[in-house]
Structure 1
Amino acid sequence: MPRTTVARIDTSAIRHNYRLACERAGPARAMAVIKADGYGHGIAAVAKALAEDAPRYAVACLEEALAVREAGLSQPVVMLQGPHQQDDMAVFARQGFQPVLHSHYQLEWLRALQTAPAFWLKVNTGMNRLGFPPQDLAAQVEPLLNAAVTRSALQGFVTHFSCADDPASPETAEQTRRLCQATARWPHLEKSVGNSAAHFLAEQPLFDWSRPGIMLYGSSPVIGRTGPELGLRAAMTLEAPLIATRTLKAGDRVGYGGSWVAERDTRMGMVAVGYGDGYPRHAGTDTPAAVRGRRIRLIGRVSMDMLAVDLSSVPEARDGDSVELWGPQVSVDEVAAHAGTIGYELLTGVTARVPRLYR
């Protein structure tokens, strides 16, 4: 029998979160971002769960887009990094993939085609990762609009916010201003600006297409807020069994380095999950978990295949009980905060040895 460490995926939660994104996007339509294997939830399963709701998907690379087609879905797929090599362009045209072009070499590949796919241009408004500078945009757009192959294929403009997770930052408004100023000459072309965090910014315009990502999976995109506080439902429940329980005596140490010492007699349990499964090694003592519907805490260091929990608050817990590491009772954002990281990393980092079970 395989061990019962599993990631349970609630596809109804993904649909709930997508619909919330649509509500918060106002007049904008929402393309569902399902890159990184659906943020660790399984790209095919996520795409199918949203098939009746999402008019468009967004991914990072060609392999991810092809997985959508292999799942039997025909919606347009936006390629957020554009082509990685010239041959990709012809595949995009055949498959209905829409690249976001950010560099001159990608435009050269586009111009070499006889039939161009629908495509977007990336505008660097301040993130300073990818994109054309606003002051150079006209030099890129006008030749595309004057060429027969590309004139009708240009969909519009994409930018990415650097500080939308911080509602107090003025940078998002400034990036919005830069984009509007740079694209004012082409009001007929669409704009896509809204990452997950932007959906929760008061009075932030999301224009034509928003791009909800992490919020689809129930994790918070906003500094200082958890997913449940934003009305999001956890899509993944990471759970593992208690494989041993015992009572430690005062003075007993637990785990590598003996970093945690019992101050009094303490009921302890060992849980069959660790950093080999993607649970963060840097989540230490006091990181929350839950068993039998009540919250407990980690103690000591996380090992590759196990971690220890304090069962003082649930003395009736027994070997074989299932422990929730994150899910509806314990937000992944709480665990991430204890580990000094973000929910994105935890969800995408659950390893392949953890089965995904869908409902």
Structure 2
Amino acid sequence: MARPLIADIDLDALRHNYRLACSLAPDSRAVAVLKADAYGHGAVACARALEGLAPAFAVACIEEAVTLREAGISTPIVLLEGIFEAAELDRVEALGLWMAVHSDWQVEALLARRPASPIPTWLKVDSGMHRLGFAPERAEAVWQRLAAAPGHACDLHLMTHFATADLAATGYFAGQMTRLAALAERLGAPLCLANSPATLARPEAHGAWNRPGVMLYGSDPLEQSNAASRRLAPVMTLRSAIIAVRELPAGEPVGYGGRWVTPRPSRIGVVACGYGDGYDRHAVDGTPVLVAGKRTAVAGKVSMDMMTVDITDIPEADIGSEVVLWGRAAGGEVLGVDEVARHCDTISYTLLTGVLPRVPRRYHGESGTDPN
């Protein structure tokens, strides 16, 4: 019998979340972000699930785009970080990719080329994130150069990335938005601005294109949930089982370092999952899990291949009982990955992308029906 740990991927939920993103911005098109192996969910499977629904995909780099093309994905793909050396333009052209440009050398490489057909290009502006992009006062001149060379670039858009769209406070976001809106008005440029939080909560940022990412996988990126984010459906369920049970008296330490001590006579379930699978070693005692569909908690430090949970108040739990580390239990109960992440002092992105290859992915929902 195989080790019981598995990552169940609900493709119906993925499609539901994508349709939700589209419904929130009916005048925009939504590029589905599949970088980092679709946030740990499997880029090829997720792309196939969204083919015919999403008009474009986005990845971080050309290697991720090649993986999709070699799997037969023909949907347009945007390189969000553009190229890393001029020679990559050969593959950009051969694979029919779109690209962001954020640096002078990328612009020069593009303009020095004689492509068989113009390359769709999104000009990245640093509106306040201070990571990638041209300062707004320089972006206008770069735009004009690209626009004057139609044999090199086409379908020009302005894009930026918001630093605080997830926060309830709106001041910094408003400043970024104002800078981009003013630049776009001067240039008559279409915009690609909204990430997941802006798609969910900042309709003023909805442009010609939006870029929903982590929301597609059911994670709520907002500091304060809203009606839209509460409609997101979990896509990944990290599911395992109890493989041993220990009956301990009060006062017994559990796990490395004896961090957790039984406060009463206790039943401890040993679960086949650990940091060697990608579960966060920093999970504190009290981090929630579902056992047999009921909430309980981590009790003791997470080990490489195992973890321990308190099942004292779940008398029916025994060897073989289902354990859900995050996602949807067999009975329908849901434990959100965002809640687990908070107990690990991290964010859902790190948990989802951190599930390691030794954890098999099992895909469901090939029918294309909606879970809600």
TM bin, normalised by shorter chain, reads: over 0.9
Q: Please, which runs of 5 or more residues in structure 1 have no aligned partner? A: none
The residue that corresponds to 1:171 in the other structure is: 172
Q: Please state whether the residue corresponding to 2:243 is helix, strand or coil.
A: strand
The residue that corresponds to 2:336 in the other structure is: 331
How far, CA to CA, are the matches of 1:76 and 1:202 in structure 2? 26
Structure-to-structure mapping, 1:6-17, within 5 angstroms: 6-17=6-17
- Kindly provide the CA deviation profile for residues 249-302 of structure 1, in whole angstroms up to 9, marking residues without a partner as x: 011110011111111101110001011000001112111111211111111111
How far, CA to CA, are the matches of 1:303 and 1:169 in structure 2? 41
Report the AA paired with residue 136 of structure 1.
Answer: R
How far, CA to CA, are the matches of 1:71 and 1:142 in structure 2? 37
Report the AA paired with residue 41 of structure 2.
Answer: H
The residue that corresponds to 2:182 in the other structure is: 181
- Kindly provide the CA deviation profile for residues 215-269 of structure 1, in whole angstroms up to 9, marking residues without a partner as x: 0000111114499962111100001121101211011110011111111101110
Report the AA paired with residue 52 of structure 2.
Answer: E
Q: Does 1:250 find its partner at 2:255? A: no
How far, CA to CA, are the matches of 1:170 and 1:326 in structure 2? 34
Deviates more, 1:51-60 or 1:176-185: 176-185
List structure 1 segments (4+ residues) > 3 angstroms apart after TM superposition.
224-229
How far, CA to CA, are the matches of 2:281 and 2:140 in structure 1? 49
Specify which of 137, 140, 160 is matched with residue 139 of structure 2: 137
The residue that corresponds to 1:153 in the other structure is: 154
Q: Does 1:357 find its partner at 2:362? A: yes
Q: Does 1:276 find its partner at 2:281? A: no
Q: Please state whether the residue corresponding to 2:13 is helix, strand or coil.
A: helix
Report the AA paired with residue 130 of structure 1.
Answer: L
How far, CA to CA, are the matches of 2:238 and 2:202 in structure 1? 33
Deviates more, 1:284-293 or 1:344-353: 284-293
Structure-to-structure mapping, 1:182-221, within 5 angstroms: 182-187=183-188, 189-221=189-221
Return the offset for 1:43: 0.4
- Kindly provide the CA deviation profile for residues 33-92 of structure 1, in whole angstroms up to 9, marking residues without a partner as x: 000000000000000010121000010011111122122121111100000111111211
The residue that corresponds to 1:94 in the other structure is: 94
- Kindly provide the CA deviation profile for residues 309-359 of structure 1, in whole angstroms up to 9, marking residues without a partner as x: 010221111112220000022110111000000001000000011000101
2:300–2:308 CA contact under 8 A, matched in 1? yes
* Gap change, CA 1:229 and 1:113, over 3 Å in 2: closer
Identical residues among aligned pairs (%): 46
Return the offset for 1:3: 0.7
* Gap change, CA 1:347 and 1:119, over 3 Å in 2: same
How far, CA to CA, are the matches of 1:215 and 1:281 in structure 2? 25
Report the AA paired with residue 357 of structure 1.
Answer: R
Q: Please, which runs of 5 or more residues in structure 2 have no aligned partner? A: 329-333, 365-372
1:284–1:339 CA contact under 8 A, matched in 2? yes
Q: Please state whether the residue corresponding to 1:240 is helix, strand or coil.
A: strand
Residue-pair matches, total: 357
The residue that corresponds to 2:128 in the other structure is: 126
- Kindly provide the CA deviation profile for residues 137-182 of structure 1, in whole angstroms up to 9, marking residues without a partner as x: 22212222222423x6142111000000102231112111101112
Report the AA paired with residue 171 of structure 2.
Answer: P
How far, CA to CA, are the matches of 2:200 and 2:292 in structure 1? 34
1:13–1:235 CA contact under 8 A, matched in 2? yes
* Gap change, CA 1:226 and 1:202, over 3 Å in 2: closer
2:32–2:54 CA contact under 8 A, matched in 1? yes
Structure-to-structure mapping, 1:293-332, within 5 angstroms: 293-328=293-328, 329-332=334-337
* TM-score relative to the length of structure 2: 0.93
The residue that corresponds to 1:237 in the other structure is: 237
How far, CA to CA, are the matches of 1:319 and 1:162 in structure 2? 46
The residue that corresponds to 2:370 in the other structure is: none
Report the AA paired with residue 285 of structure 1.
Answer: D
* TM-score relative to the length of structure 1: 0.96
- Kindly provide the CA deviation profile for residues 6-52 of structure 1, in whole angstroms up to 9, marking residues without a partner as x: 10000000000000000112311100000000000000000001012
* Gap change, CA 1:138 and 1:203, over 3 Å in 2: closer
2:194–2:212 CA contact under 8 A, matched in 1? yes
Deviates more, 1:112-121 or 1:124-133: 112-121
2:165–2:202 CA contact under 8 A, matched in 1? no
Structure-to-structure mapping, 1:95-110, within 5 angstroms: 95-110=95-110
